[in-house]
Structures are given as structure tokens and as C-alpha cells.
């Protein structure tokens, strides 16, 4: 370094700031070597470029030789904050060291917390532990399984999907799930309502067949699980207000959007005894899990997709999710979906119209299940 810019001392100070940022209190001996490698990558180019600038500024001007661009040198010299730069470099290193890191927009702020990445960055393990000590993740699920028309529901299936049975009658389920004590939501919860089509077969390009149920749509009353579910899992999630009430041996569900109610479910006569059902349809192959269709539209290209493919979520481990279930069966249950026009339901009228047209040929079963634990669906995968 030439002495006329005082950059020898300035760069030494920046070196110290960089080391302070990369080696904070709590750094283990095993981490020192990789942190010093980050230090070298942070400081090498900048210190050498400033060294070159000082040599250009300190030499006599010779006609035909390169001259120092004073404005460029000054901007490079003072337009840098080593503390912020080194902290960002360390954060990037810690993030890349975890292969399971989940990213989603906006990416400018680093990996986003969510149900499959509840701790966030930097790790808030102490806060998460405190939440878990005082709350427990729980699920309360209302299910209404009914007979319906295969010929109608098959119009909802994407390419590659079909019903395993050629029978004109099939089964579908409407489910309402209330989650509470969610660690990733700081101990809060939310409600879900979705439609599940049973007896679905997916035929892969190589001819292999997979069996499961299909989820054409899910409504949730909280923005965060909608965003994370779309991005992380590719699930077709939409927003609606979902009001769930339990009173004695009955329960009621109202589904609405900005005050416009378009769906209702009711359950009554709950008891621990399972009633005899005479409405069951012929059996189909055992369902291995749940299918969905991921669709990501291409920006500025109407009708085109950046990505579209099937997603599969295999059945979960009952010992980890749905522990200690308390099951009550309903003696009576019904649902009603109302089609709405564009004015009263501007963003959901297309979905409500189709749901309202689904035939109901009789309830097969209805129940309420309370259990412990919640499913993060980390096993969700792209089929092909």
C-alpha cells in the first residue's frame, strides 16, 4: 500500500471488522477453518484492488499510461460497509450448509420460515423451545364422506389421472381441519376445508400405476399456510374464511369470502359408536397417499406454464401424527355449496359453481377426530 491514501490502516480496520463478524461469540474451534476461508474470500479482492488504486494515485503521471479515475476510486473506497457485507457472507454460508433449506419469494431476505422450516434464520431455537413447552400442536378434523358421480368428478382430473374403477358411482370426502398450537405460527392455528376424490389412479410415463386420492382444491383462512403450501408442496390452495363451531353433540362449518357465505356443513348426533352404513360403494385399490397438481404460470405468457406436474404425498406415520385420537361418529351430516355470481364472489365464483354442482348420492360416513401432532408433509414429492 502507498501511504498517501491511509488505506493500509483502513484495510486493517476492515480486516478486524470482518473477523469480528465471522467469528462471533460461540464460534466453535471446528468452525474456525471454514470461517477463515470466508474471511479470505471477503477480503482478498477488495484489499488488492485498493492496493492497486493507491499505487496509481501515488505515482507520477506519464503520458500514455493509465491514470487513476479519482471518482471511481473514492466511490469504491467509501461506499462499502464491511460489517454488513461480512454478516451477509456468514449468513449465506450458514444457509448453504443446510441442504434442506427452503426458499420462496421474496428471496432478498434469505430463507423463509414456515411449517417445513419453523426455526427461521438466524435460528431461534430458544424461542421455539419455549413455545413447545407451553403449547402442543393439535388437530380437530371433521370428515363427511359421500357417494357421488364419477363421470362428473373425472372432469376435475389433470392429464394422467383417472378413476381406478369404471363404475359410475364413486366416493369423495369434504374435510374441515382445525390446527392449533402450531410452532411455526408462534403457537397459533388456522382452519382448512378441502375436497378429496377417492379411488384415483395415476399412470406414469413408464406405465407404472399409483393409487391414491386427489385434492382438486383446498381453502384456508390464513395467508401463510396458503403461500407455503403452494410454494413448498404445489397444493392448489385458496383463501376463504372458515368458521367452525362445536356445541354438545353437534358441529357446524361456514365457509365465506368477505361476508359472502357459499358453503355450509353440519354434523349432529356424535357418539363413540360407529353406525352401520349401507351406502358404501365397491372397494378400490388401497390408497397410497394423496395426489395434487402443481401449476406455475409463466409471467407474461398467458396460457403457458413454467411448470406443471403431479405431486404425491404418501400416507404419514400414525405414531407421529394424529396421536391419541378421540373419535366420534355423527348420526347425521350434510353439506351445501351455493354457486355465486362474479359480483358477490369475484375470485372464487368459478370454484364455488363447480363445487355446487357435485352430486350427493348419500352420506357414507361422518365423524369428528381430535388428536395430537400436526403433519408437515415433508414427504411430498414430484412424481416424475
Domain finish residue from 72, 97, 122? 97
Spatial distance between the Cα atoms of 146 and 360, rounded to a whole number of angstroms:
7
Check whether residue 27 and residue 85 sit in a common domain: yes
> What is the CATH classification number for the domain harbouring 180?
2.40.400.10
pLDDT tens string 329-363: 999 999 999 999 999 999 999 999 999 999 999 99
User: Would you say residue 340 lies in a domain?
Assistant: yes
Q: Are residues 234 and 343 in the same domain?
A: yes
Q: Cα separations (Å) of 309 from 60, 153, 216, 284, 296?
A: 66, 20, 14, 24, 9
Which of 1-5's residues contact partners 24+ apart within 8 Å by CB, and which partners? 1/50, 1/51, 1/54, 2/54, 2/55, 2/57, 2/58, 3/58, 4/54, 4/57, 4/58, 5/50, 5/53, 5/54, 5/57, 5/58, 5/77
Please report which confidence band the pLDDT of residue 122 belongs to, taking 50, 70 and 90 as the band edges: very low
* Residues facing 20 on adjacent strands: none
Residues 362 and 241 in one domain: yes
Q: In terms of domains, do 206 and 82 share one?
A: no
Contact, 131 vs 185, CB < 8 A? no
Give how many domains the chain has, as a whole number. Answer: 2
Residue 290 Cα distances to 70, 168, 215, angstroms: 64, 22, 7
109 found inside a domain? no
Q: Is residue 243 part of a domain?
A: yes
Domain residue limits at 208: 132-382
Question: Are 243 and 315 members of one domain?
Answer: yes
Q: How large a percentage of the chain has pLDDT more than 90? A: 66
The reply to whether 53 falls in a domain is yes
Q: Are residues 88 and 149 in the same domain?
A: no
d(CA 144, CA 171): 10
Check whether residue 83 and residue 137 sit in a common domain: no
What residues contact residue 171 under an 8 Å CB cut-off, 6+ apart?
Answer: 145, 146, 147, 148, 198, 199, 281, 364
Say if 76 falls within a structural domain: yes
Q: Which segment of 119-133, 160-174, 216-230, 334-348 scores lowest on mean pLDDT?
A: 119-133
Q: Is the pTM of this model over 0.75?
A: yes
Output the pLDDT for position 62: 65
pLDDT digits (tens, 9 = 90+) for 194-248: 999 999 999 999 999 999 999 999 999 999 999 999 999 999 999 999 999 999 9
Amino acid at each position: 500500500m502507498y501511504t498517501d491514501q491511509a488505506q493500509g490502516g483502513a484495510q486493517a480496520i476492515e480486516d478486524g471488522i470482518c473477523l469480528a463478524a465471522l467469528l462471533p461469540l460461540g464460534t466453535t474451534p471446528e468452525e474456525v477453518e471454514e470461517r477463515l476461508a470466508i474471511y479470505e474470500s471477503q477480503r482478498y479482492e477488495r484489499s488488492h484492488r485498493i492496493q492497486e488504486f493507491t499505487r496509481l494515485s501515488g505515482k507520477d503521471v506519464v503520458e500514455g499510461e493509465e491514470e487513476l479515475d479519482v471518482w471511481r476510486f473514492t466511490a469504491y473506497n467509501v461506499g462499502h460497509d464491511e460489517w454488513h457485507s461480512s454478516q451477509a457472507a456468514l449468513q449465506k454460508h450458514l444457509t448453504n450448509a443446510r441442504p434442506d433449506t427452503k426458499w420462496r419469494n421474496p428471496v432478498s431476505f434469505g430463507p423463509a420460515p414456515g411449517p417445513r422450516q419453523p426455526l427461521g434464520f438466524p435460528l431461534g431455537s430458544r424461542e421455539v423451545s419455549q413455545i413447545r413447552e407451553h403449547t402442543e400442536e393439535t388437530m380437530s378434523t371433521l370428515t363427511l364422506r359421500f357417494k357421488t358421480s364419477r363421470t362428473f368428478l373425472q372432469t376435475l382430473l389433470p392429464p394422467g389421472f383417472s378413476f381406478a374403477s369404471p363404475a359410475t358411482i364413486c366416493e369423495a370426502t369434504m374435510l374441515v381441519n382445525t390446527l392449533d398450537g402450531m410452532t411455526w405460527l408462534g403457537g397459533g392455528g388456522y382452519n382448512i376445508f378441502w375436497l378429496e376424490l377417492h379411488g384415483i389412479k395415476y399412470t406414469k410415463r413408464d406405465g407404472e400405476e399409483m393409487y391414491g386420492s386427489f385434492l382438486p382444491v383446498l381453502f384456508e383462512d390464513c395467508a401463510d399456510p396458503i403461500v407455503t403450501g403452494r410454494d413448498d408442496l404445489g397444493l392448489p390452495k385458496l383463501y376463504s374464511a372458515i368458521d367452525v363451531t362445536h356445541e354438545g353433540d353437534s358441529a357446524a362449518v361456514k365457509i365465506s369470502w368477505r361476508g359472502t357465505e357459499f358453503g355450509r356443513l353440519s354434523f349432529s348426533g356424535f357418539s363413540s359408536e360407529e353406525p352401520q352404513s349401507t351406502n358404501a360403494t365397491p372397494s378400490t385399490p388401497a390408497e397410497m397417499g394423496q395426489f395434487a397438481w402443481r401449476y406455475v404460470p409463466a409471467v407474461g405468457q398467458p396460457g403457458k406454464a413454467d411448470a406443471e406436474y403431479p405431486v404425491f404425498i404418501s400416507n404419514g406415520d400414525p405414531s407421529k401424527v394424529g396421536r391419541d385420537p378421540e373419535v366420534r361418529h355423527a348420526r347425521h351430516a350434510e353439506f351445501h355449496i351455493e354457486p355465486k355470481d362474479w359480483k358477490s364472489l369475484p375470485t372464487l365464483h368459478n370454484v364455488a359453481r363447480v363445487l355446487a354442482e357435485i352430486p350427493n348420492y348419500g352420506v357414507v360416513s361422518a365423524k369428528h377426530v381430535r388428536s395430537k401432532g400436526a403433519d408437515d408433509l415433508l414427504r411430498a414429492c414430484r412424481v416424475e
